[in-house]
Amino acid sequence: MKCDWVRQNILFYVYNELEDDARYEVEQHLARCPECATELNATRKFHATLSEMPVVEPTPNLLTASRMRLQEALETAQPGGFWHRLILEPGVWLRQIRMAPALAAAIFIVGFGGGIGATYNFLSAHGGYGVATGSLESGSGNQPQSVNLAQPLESSAIAGIRSVTQEPGSNQVSIKYDTVLTQEAQGSLNDQRIQQLLLFAARNNYNSGVRMDSVDVLTQSPDDSRVREALMYALQNDTNPGVRLKALDGLSGFVRQDARVRDEVLRALISDTNSGVRLQALRLVEPMKTDSNVRSVLIKLSQTDENVSIRSQARTMLAQMPEMD
Amino acid sequence: MPADSYAVAIPVGESSRSRRAEHGSGNQNPTSYSNMRGSLAAQGNRIDDTSLIREAQQGNRAAFEVLVRHYDQSVLRLALHLTGSESDAQDVYQEAFLKAYKNLGSFRFECSFYTWIYRIVTNLCLDHLRKRNVRKEDAPVAVDASGEEYSRLEQFADVRSGANPERDLMRRELGRKIGVALSVLTPRERMVFELKHYHGLKLRTVGEMLNTTEETAKNALFRATQKLRAALAEMR
């Protein structure tokens, strides 16, 4: 019944939450249906009534007092930083569990004590990690055992659940899952394997925190054209602006010496979508503003960048240079 | 390390990772974040939060304070309207930004900073509402900063005194009724309604801030309005 649907959506119509097509349909219906129009009026009246409790702007005194109190507390507070990123965030992990019931079941099963049999076939290893498949059957006992969540499988260790089968009429469950074997490599920055993994991480890891850390470490590497390439790749392609900024940091030392780096930074200056990144790139090329390539980019930037601050800084830089032509 | 002597890692060559031998090309000197702040404020511009956040993550307290200024007025406005009390609002403000400061390391630019900070604030507000619900048997009378008693519900009344005392009285009365009606909502319903009706946020954003879906937020809004309409009708 159209009226039912419209009634359910009148509230969202009033709060301007409907998509354009739904909004259109509601309006069309309301023009023809007096009952629904009455409901609309009632809803609007409700909206108006509740708006009689206006949102008061905090007084300047209150705002100032709050700021001062915060400042005092900040004097003694420690910013959380590096270590937090490394610790497995339980909230994220739990959310993954909630959304993957098979995964939750697999972990649940693993928690049971003895009587678990598993067979593993190791397939060929590629680039440092192996893949194992196994089958797992729950223990013999039917009595509830406390789930040993202190030793869960790392969610990243489970590559996928192949099948979950429950034997009918019992609480025996059989789950086939693939695991990823996590390994650890340790070494100095000069170690080839370390460098290889870092370069891989900078490009491929889905986790932007890991990409950021790897780019961070790479920036400390000695002159290495592959490192420079990885940083330029990150600057050009990484979706995360924080990672791009870190890559820019690492390239800052090479902008003068290496034409490719300079061109890449210029490219970022024009086309990066994040104005913070563009701003930093602008600072990096500032010492080279006499270069004709740089100059033509600055001219373009001063006219077409969407960020006012960038446009004006570019203009300032241009003004400081004598005309070369 | 006091903030004003921290070497701000604005990469104009002052970064320790930089290999450039010379530099000093007349750029801002590394410690004067306040100069940058000043000139930008004069231009009426905002540095993209991204750079500020990065600086703050590396321990630059001045950068964090600039970042806070971008959001703190609206945070305070929300806390004030929701709690109805200046001192409670201040507490929420304080806790929220301290929490943000301490957890800045785990912010990975995967959502906007606005959403992230509001998520913290709404969770604190929810805690506040839950605590308040537990003490429902207390009369809604509290003591403000100067030791005066005031009725929490009267905070809601629009106390603009105009030329029409009759209308003022009615307004105050209506404000009180709204306050009573709002108190029948669960903390989450109250939060959703507050963010949607009084702060105009889209339900999708509200969902993100409460770590849930747009659909859930829609349902909460629906339930909240049903309850409110019923409560208001009863009071007539």
Q: Could you state, in order of their start, the residue ranges of all structural domains in chain A?
A: 2-47, 100-180, 192-320
Options 3.40.1530.20, 1.20.1250.20, 1.25.10.10, 3.40.50.360; which CATH number does A192-320 get? 1.25.10.10
Query: What are the CA-CA distances from residue A260 to residues A231, A248, A250, A267, B86 (Å)?
Result: 12, 13, 14, 10, 57
Least confident of B24-28, B102-106, B170-174: B24-28
Residue among A52, A79, A248 whose CB faces B171 most closely:
A52
* Exposed/middle/buried for residue A131 (C-beta within 10 Å: 0-12, 13-18, 19+): middle
> Distance (Å, rounded) from C-alpha A253 to C-alpha B184?
62
B82–chain A nearest CA distance, Å: 9
Residue among B40, B77, B156 whose CB faces A309 most closely:
B40
pLDDT at residue number B45: 36
ipTM for this prediction: 0.71
Q: Report residues of chain A scoring pLDDT below 50.
A: 81-89, 91, 93, 96-97, 103-104, 106-151, 325
Query: What are the CA-CA distances from residue A315 to residues A41, A289, A298, B93, B98 (Å)?
Result: 55, 11, 7, 40, 39
> pLDDT tens across B192-222, in order?
999 999 999 999 999 999 989 999 999 999 9
pLDDT at residue number B2: 42
Q: From B40, A28, A284, select the one nearest A6 (Cα to Cα).
A: A28
- Between residues B146 and A70, the one the model is more confident about: A70
Interface test with B, best of A41, A53, A68, A72 (most B CBs within 10 A): A53
pLDDT at residue number A154: 60
> Could B73 and A58 be called an inter-chain contact, meaning their C-beta atoms sit closer than 8 Å?
yes
Query: What are the CA-CA distances from residue B2 to residues A70, A166, B112 (Å)?
Result: 16, 61, 28
Question: What's the rounded mean pLDDT across residues B102-115?
Answer: 88
pLDDT at residue number A157: 67
pLDDT at residue number B210: 93
Chain A contact set for B103 (CB, 8 A): 80, 84
B46–chain A nearest CA distance, Å: 8
Residue among B13, B50, B97 whose CB faces A276 most closely:
B50
pLDDT band with cut points at 50, 70 and 90 for residue B116 = very high
pLDDT at residue number B135: 64
Residue among A66, A253, A307 whose CB faces B93 most closely:
A66
Q: Are B85 and B152 in contact (CB under 8 A)?
A: yes
**Which residue type does A280 have?**
Q
- Tell if the pTM clears 0.90, that is, is over it: no
> Could A85 and B105 be called an inter-chain contact, meaning their C-beta atoms sit closer than 8 Å?
yes
Is residue B125's pLDDT more than 70? yes
pLDDT at residue number A38: 94
> Could A284 and B199 be called an inter-chain contact, meaning their C-beta atoms sit closer than 8 Å?
no
> pLDDT tens across B56-106, in order?
998 888 889 999 999 999 999 999 999 988 999 999 999 999 999 999 988
pLDDT at residue number A7: 92
> pLDDT tens across A270-306, in order?
888 888 899 999 988 888 877 888 888 888 888 888 8
> Could B229 and A46 be called an inter-chain contact, meaning their C-beta atoms sit closer than 8 Å?
yes
B135–chain A nearest CA distance, Å: 24
Q: Give the tokens for residue A72.
A: 């005092």
> Could B54 and A242 be called an inter-chain contact, meaning their C-beta atoms sit closer than 8 Å?
yes
Contacts by A16-21, CB closer than 8 A, 24 or more apart: A17/B202, A17/B203, A17/B218
> Could B17 and A82 be called an inter-chain contact, meaning their C-beta atoms sit closer than 8 Å?
no
> Helices (DSSP H) in chain A: which residue ranges?
2-14, 20-32, 34-50, 60-76, 82-86, 90-98, 101-111, 192-204, 208-218, 225-237, 241-251, 259-271, 275-285, 292-304, 308-320
Element (H, E) at B232: helix B214-235
Burial A156-179 (b: 16+ CB within 10 A, else e): eebeebeebeeeeeeeebebebeb
